[in-house]
Amino acid sequence: MDLPFERSEYFNRQERLFAELPESSVLIIPANDIKIRSNDVGYPYRANSYMLYLCGWEEEEGIFVANNTSGNWETMLFVSPRDTKKEIWEGKRIGVEGAINWPVNSTDSIENAESYISVCISDSHNIFTRLGESSFIDNMLIDRDDISDPRGILDPMRRIKSPREIEHMQEAARIGTEAHIHAMKASFPGIGEWQIQSAVEGHFMNCMSRWSYPSIVGGADNGTILHYNTNMSIVNDGELVLVDAGCEVHGYASDITRTWPVNGKFTDPQREIYELVLKAELAGIEACQNGSTWVSIHTATSQALASGLIELGILDCTLEEAIGDPDKFDGPYRNFFMHGTGHFLGLDVHDVGGGREGDDDQGPILEPGMVLTVEPGLYFGGWRTDVQIPERYSGIGIRIEDDILITEDGPVVLSSSCPKEIHEIEMIVGAGV
């Protein structure tokens, strides 16, 4: 396991965090608990994002502890010690001696963590940790009422990506783009959703990556279910498939959605909705300007979608009526576009720092170094009974999503190589791999 950043970058992050914490503080960032899938089989382990951010430790059972009770900040990383018998079964560990190469002052065995942390918390007036992530830490702090959540400081820090973080995210977008193209080429009428998922995720694995969230592969009506991930239906001739899939590079996610006809040719109704969603996405990307409010992106996509729905005769009202309350976006266009326009992207696919649908205000101001998604969609599920679905568009679900870097000179689309124009898609689908 190698560090994906120079040690100096981690130390810089730590110093920025410590500058915001009061005297007599202890910060505790535990590794995620191991989760059991069934009996003695665990889920694939993924490190705590804050652990990755502050010191880059990926192994199980680590604890990052920092305290300034002596007047100066000292950092300690507790890790699992070398153990030949366990390593025979589970693989070699870095161990205490190897962990000293990580960006901390000292390392020690996880077996000594309890006594060390107990002293720290007894000597401290302020404890910063996130409860609910580690049963071990939660049990140690069960009687303390002076616990604060460090995310209020860490999350704004994570919003702005460093040049090296952006490089990792560009690589994740490149692999994600290739995976979508691979799946487009492999598509044919009668293909199984699972086969498309296999094409996508197989490419992730071939690139020594893994998915950043369970892949969504929805054919026809399944594409109108926002978080569909059963991926076990056949996609028939004349039907669309919506593929929402991304991967991780050193923990940094990509998140790309494309929609295409499995036979390689859009029908007229499919083309009409696709062109409208693409127009809305391009408007949303154009709104990703340095200094703009987060809500301006959603405003741009919503206006484009609502206007298009009126032009297609799906809505019979004015644009203002279609949008509804301009602060709530609660008009009838929301019957067909139910989610937000995007989210921050980083060490979590729905990354920290605000910017989600339902925020109480206009959202964060866009700044250079932020990475976010723009992902408008329209969904006409023929299965729905809560709203009248036009027969012409029944069964059509389309979303187009790209990963956007905010710069001083305007938005940069990290996933720009992933085809999304109709003529590009029709040339690629079914071309073979």
pLDDT at 1: 65
Which residues are CB-contacts of 91 (< 8 A; sequence separation ≥ 6)? none
Contact 78, 62 (CB under 8 A): yes
- Spell out, as residue ranges, where the chain has pLDDT lower than 50: none
Predicted TM-score (pTM) of this structure: 0.96
Query: What is the amino acid identity at position 212?
Result: S
Residues annotated catalytic, as ranges: 40, 227, 244, 255, 339, 343, 350, 375, 379, 399, 401
Neighbours of 41 (CB within 10 A): 7
Which one-letter DSSP state was computed for residue 80?
A: P
Domains of the chain with CATH codes: 7-158 (3.40.350.10), 163-428 (3.90.230.10)
Look up tokens 């999350």; give the residue: 155
Tokens of 87: 């390593």
List for the chain the helix, strand, coil content (%; round to 5): 35, 20, 45
SS3 assignment, position 216: strand
List C-alpha distances in Å: 58 to 17, 63, 73, 216, 324: 20, 11, 23, 26, 46
List C-alpha distances in Å: 54 to 48, 183, 346, 428: 10, 36, 14, 42
Q: Which helix (H) or strand (E) holds 427?
A: helix 422-428
pLDDT at 358: 55
Contact 296, 287 (CB under 8 A): yes
Query: What is the amino acid identity at position 331?
Result: G
CA–CA dist 34, 42 (Å, integer): 7
Return the closest-CA partner of residue 315 out of 324, 306, 304, 326.
306
CA–CA dist 342, 404 (Å, integer): 10
Tokens of 221: 């009506």
CA–CA dist 118, 175 (Å, integer): 44
pLDDT at 362: 78
Return the closest-CA partner of residue 252 out of 169, 151, 191.
169
CA–CA dist 259, 244 (Å, integer): 9
Sign of the CA dihedral with 124 first, then 128, 132, and 136 last? negative
Query: What is the amino acid identity at position 70?
Result: S
Strand order in the sheet with 247-249: 210-211, 247-249, 252-253
CA–CA dist 54, 336 (Å, integer): 41
Contact 254, 212 (CB under 8 A): yes
pLDDT at 360: 60
SS3 assignment, position 149: coil
Q: Strand 256-261 and strand 252-253: pairing?
A: unpaired
pLDDT at 220: 98
Sign of the CA dihedral with 302 first, then 304, 310, and 313 last? negative
Q: Strand 210-211 and strand 247-249: pairing?
A: antiparallel
pLDDT at 355: 84
pLDDT at 432: 84
